Amino acid sequence: MGLFSESLNSFDDLFSHQLEDVYDAELQLTDALPKMADASSASDLRNAFNTHLMETRDHVKRLEQVFQRIGKSPERHTCPAMKGLIKEGQEAISATGDPSVKDAALIASAQRVEHYEIAAYGTLRTLARQVGLNDVASIFQKTLDEEGSADKKLTAIAESHVNQQAAAAR
């Protein structure tokens, strides 16, 4: 089911749909990150994926706290965007060839995921603030900060050695 395939009659409907979408996205990601870590040849990249897996599990718990805070049971609406991003990541996981080039492809795929999550959590934070759920907005801000840090860590790994090694592959 798509994000907006149901009626949006209230701001609460919009907030709930966004929350259910990102909940599904995070759950999809908990399945994908171990595969990305296993496919990595660079130890720092593998460690970054494993660290982000632990953070992602915390993100799921936080989202469940938000559901509880707003009086709803955690519910998933399939996030087609994350499904597509993970499919792209799977292509990098399955690729053969130079390991450093594959690592660069994994980073590119992971950063697309991070950017999607940054957009999703920024939106949820803003929506929560709009309706006075400042405690919920703070939860989203904490996750947003962690997603930004993960993105920066991936950039640092790419710039410190992975991209140079990939560029040298012929």
Would you say 49 and 162 are in contact if contact means Cβ atoms under 8 Å apart?
A: no
| pLDDT at res. 170 | 77
Instruction: Please give the radius of gyration of the chain, using alpha carbons only, rounded to the nearest integer.
Output: 17
CB-based contact 32:86 (threshold 8 Å)? yes
Helix boundaries (H) for the chain: 11-39, 43-69, 80-94, 99-130, 134-157, 163-168
**Does residue 101 surpass a pLDDT of 90?**
yes
CATH number attached to the domain at 11-168: 1.20.1260.10
The pTM of the full predicted model, rounded to 2 decimals, is 0.93
* Confidence label for 1 from pLDDT (cuts 50, 70 and 90): very low
**Is residue 24 within 8 Å of 82, Cβ to Cβ?**
yes
Structural domain spans, the chain: 11-168
How far, in Å, CA of 170 to CA of 162, rounded? 14
Which pLDDT value is given to residue 55?
98
In this predicted structure, the answer to whether residue 132 has a pLDDT above a threshold of 50 is yes
pLDDT at 3 over 50: no
pLDDT digits (tens, 9 = 90+) for 18-69: 999 999 999 999 999 999 999 999 999 999 999 999 999 999 999 999 999 9
What CA–CA distance (Å, rounded) separates 28 from 140? 18
At position 10, the amino acid (one-letter code) is: S
Report the b/e string of 87-117 with b at 16+ CB within 10 A: eebeebbeeeeebbbbbbbbbebbbbbbebb
CA dist., res. 166 & res. 43, Å (int): 15
| Nearest in space to 46 (alpha carbons), one of 92, 96, 107, 101 | 107
Task: Establish how many alpha carbons lie within 13 A of residue 33's alpha carbon, considering only the half-sphere containing its beta carbon.
Answer: 23
Written as six digits, the tokens of 99 are 């390991």
- The amino acid that residue 93 corresponds to is I
Residues 118-130 pLDDT 10s? 999 999 999 999 9
Asked if the model's pLDDT at residue 6 lies above 80, the reply is no
